[in-house]
Amino acid sequence: MKNIFALITIVFAMAAFAGCSASDNTQTSKFTAKEVTSKVTSAMNDLKDLHETDKNADNWTNIMNYVTDIDPDKVTDIDYLYMTDGSAEEICAIIAIDEDSAKEIESDMKNRISTRKSHFETYDPEQLPKVEAAYAGRSGNTCILIIGAQAQNGKYEFNKMMGS
């Protein structure tokens, strides 16, 4: 009886160990994308009313394409806040299925900042300080894009929230 119990214990321990090591770079986020954007926006007191799109919206994949070209199947959660009056402010949190996908999203977010800068240089130069203050980064699988005059305040809250 002791041998059977010991064997069962070993089998369960090996299965648990195999499950942990098979996870590669897959992580889960401690927070939802909405919790991340809420924390970031709370630190930026100059924002006007932002329009919001999340994963529950019918057009979330179309809106997400403004920020990243990643396959929507690699996104577990998104919250995207943006101005509808043509000004530069944008805040987008995307939680990816794994760290490799998050790295791709982070790169796309950095490209988004460059694209917005080029756009506003021609379209509305008064918006350039907001874009020049922008931040794109990630912590684990959670990516953040912050475009706004107080982006550094949002970056600080994001890093504090993520423990970075």
pTM, full prediction: 0.83
| Residues constituting the chain | 164
Tokens 């423990």 -> residue: 163
Q: Would you kindly state where each structural domain of the chain is located, as residue ranges?
A: 26-162
Q: 80-136 pLDDT, tens per residue?
A: 999 999 999 999 999 999 999 999 999 999 999 999 999 999 999 999 999 999 999
Report residue 35 as tokens: 């919790």
Distance CA 158, CA 43 (A): 10
Q: 16-61 pLDDT, tens per residue?
A: 434 443 344 455 679 999 999 999 999 999 998 899 999 999 999 9
Question: What does each C-alpha distance from 32 to 35, 98, 111, 116, 128 come to in angstroms?
Answer: 5, 15, 24, 26, 30
Give the pairing type, strands 75-82 and 51-54: antiparallel
Distance CA 83, CA 153 (A): 19
